[in-house]
């Protein structure tokens, strides 16, 4: 039986806050993964267990993720806003839904937290090439979350999911950054 623990990640002297504990989140970050959850030991489930173990043993800075309760096919994750960016200090929650075709097909990834970003739709869906036409089975959960974290700072306004955010990013960076800071502040109190 595995117990999920939130960890404090560091990045060359920069320390990210530890992920909230289970009792601080409305979503279950610390369920128990039992043998029953893996009763159908499919290639997708085996790969997800490997991804989870890797993420726990060598977590990239600023991201955290774990399966939800006994469901290895559904994950909750947190991305911390990168330092020295408008996203700095934010704590953004996501879900990752995997199919039995993983890793041959990407998961469905969606922000739970409210976002204001050129490549994030109003429903939290993400317009990111590696989650669509550039997907490769070599990507694991850590790579997915790291890519999304990078997207926060390096949006593609030419492929907008949010036209207002794309317009402000291109034409009025000051106003764009102000709106991002509002989202960051909301992330501190959002459930």
Catalytic residue numbers read 127
- How many Å apart are CA 41 and CA 56, to the nearest integer? 21
Q: 168: alpha, beta or left, given left = phi > 0 and alpha = psi -120 to 50?
A: alpha
């Amino acid at each position: 039986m595995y117990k999920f623990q939130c960890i404090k990640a560091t990045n060359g002297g920069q320390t990210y806050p530890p992920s909230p504990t289970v009792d601080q989140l409305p979503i279950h970050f610390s369920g128990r993964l039992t043998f029953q959850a893996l009763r159908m030991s499919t290639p997708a489930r085996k790969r997800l267990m490997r991804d989870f173990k890797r993420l726990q043993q060598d977590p990239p800075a600023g991201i955290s993720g774990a399966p939800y309760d006994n469901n290895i096919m559904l994950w909750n994750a947190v991305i911390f806003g990168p330092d020295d960016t408008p996203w700095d200090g934010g704590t953004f929650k996501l879900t990752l839904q995997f199919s039995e075709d993983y890793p041959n097909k990407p998961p469905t990834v969606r922000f739970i937290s409210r976002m204001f970003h050129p490549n994030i739709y109003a429903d939290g869906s993400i317009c990111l090439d590696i989650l669509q036409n550039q997907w490769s089975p070599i990507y694991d959960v850590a790579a997915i979350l790291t890519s999304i974290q990078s997207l926060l700072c390096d949006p593609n306004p030419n492929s907008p999911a949010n036209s207002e955010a794309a317009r402000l990013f291109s034409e009025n960076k000051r106003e764009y950054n102000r709106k991002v800071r509002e989202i960051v502040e909301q992330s501190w109190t959002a459930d």
